[in-house]
Amino acid sequence: TKKNIKAIEALVSRAVLGLKPENISIVDNNMNLLNVQDSTEAGVYDNNFELQKQVKEALENQVTKLLEPVFGKGNVKSAVNVKLNFDKQFTEIVRFEPVVDDQGIAVSINELKEEVTGQAGGVTYQAQGVTDEASQYPVTQDENGSYKRTESTTNYEVNQIKEQIEKAQGKIEELTLSVIINSDVLSDERISQIQNILAKGLGVDTENVVVLGMSFDGQQQEQAQVEQLKAEAQAKERNERIFNYLRLALIALGGLLVFIMILRYIQRIQVLANPQELEVLEEVPVEEEEEELGKLPDVFMQQIMEMPEESKEQIAQKQQIEYLIENKPDLVAQQIRDWINES
């Protein structure tokens, strides 16, 4: 790895006095230079290797997800060998196409016309740029003869199209797949079906897909079963713990309600014992009082009637508790939850 290469450089540079790490070359058994000083080139190599690894893992996961629903979890093992092509390829294409109606645009036209009618004695034609008599020759000897010459040259311009194509890097160049299924009874027909499914799913030829059926090591299956049982036991324990918390909360809530009813009954008894507060008690309807008292069990009623006279300090404490219950129930409920958690 890159870290190992750096470690070797550091070790050698410290072992030799005055030797700098940039003057150290490290090669593998194939004479490939490992400690490339060009960080850009090294980074590209690392990125290409990482990309190839990601493609390999993605294809293996795809095969596993495709076959495990059929053969069961842990019963499919796959290995993918993939080779990506990171070479840069440029292609330039030049095409000539007409503009309209299979013709180009006329950019220049050259026309030459010569016409001679009948002249006595004929016509003598001399080549252009020559003045000697030897270069003069008669065009026609017939006094009724004629000479006509027409020449036309047209230059057309057509469309010139240039295309530069750069092929994407990282294209899959080679791909082979091997799959082992935990089964001893795979028929040739079933193996052929699996090969066709994998070949079409991955976009490769069937000859590049190998499927083999054999039994896996029993220890792996046992380990998978043990892990599954552990997960189920943990889930069951968690559910039981939640149920116990709910049961304790319900018990605490019921006890709190009974405690509130007892405090209210004690307060009414104290009011009846004090003549000065009798008028306040008379304002409370008798039916409501009897209804609330009827909610208490007979055991609690008997215990309350047999209670000795309490001191003023105890009465004040109970009144404070009742005040908290009636005016700040959230605080009382939080305190009860803390007691349950501590227990």
Residues 263 and 306 in one domain: yes
The total domain count for the chain is: 3
Determine the structural domain holding residue 96 and report its residue range.
91-164
The pTM of this model reads 0.37
| Judgement on whether residues 77 and 95 belong to the same structural domain of the protein | no
Question: Which residues, at least 6 apart from 44, have a Cβ–Cβ distance to it below 8 Å?
Answer: none
Cα–Cα distance measured from residue 26 to residue 32, given in angstroms and rounded to the nearest whole number: 8
The separation between CA 305 and the C-alpha centre of its own chain, rounded to angstroms, equals 73
Taking only the tens place, the pLDDT of each residue in 115-140 is 777 654 444 444 444 444 444 445 44
Q: Are 76 and 182 in contact (CB under 8 A)?
A: yes
DSSP state of 132: S
- Specify the residue for token string 């080679």: 174
Residue 52 predicted with pLDDT over 80: yes
Among 75, 85, 84, residue whose Cα is nearest residue 54: 84
The pLDDT of residue 19 is above 80: yes
pLDDT in tens, 55-113: 888 889 989 888 888 888 888 888 888 888 777 777 888 777 766 666 666 677 788 87
The two beta strands, 171-182 and 209-214, are parallel
Is the model's pLDDT at 42 over the cut of 50?
A: yes
Q: Are 181 and 75 in contact (CB under 8 A)?
A: yes
Are both 138 and 123 inside the same structural domain?
A: yes
Q: Could you read off the pLDDT of 169-205 as tens digits, one per residue?
A: 778 888 889 998 888 778 888 888 999 988 888 888 8
Co-location of 261 and 311 in the same domain: yes
Whole-number pLDDT of residue 222: 67
Residue 182 lies in a domain: yes
User: Rounded CA gap, 36 and 27, in Å?
Assistant: 10
Cβ pair 260, 322 in contact under 8 A: yes
Residues 245, 331: one domain?
Answer: yes
336 and 237 within one domain: yes
Tens digit of each residue's pLDDT (9 = 90 or more) over 260-303: 777 776 666 555 445 444 444 444 444 444 444 444 445 444 54
> What secondary structure does DSSP assign to 224-268, as a single string?
HHHHHHHHHHHHHHHHHHHHHHHHHHHHHHHHHHHHHHHHHHHHH
Q: What is the pLDDT of residue 127?
A: 44
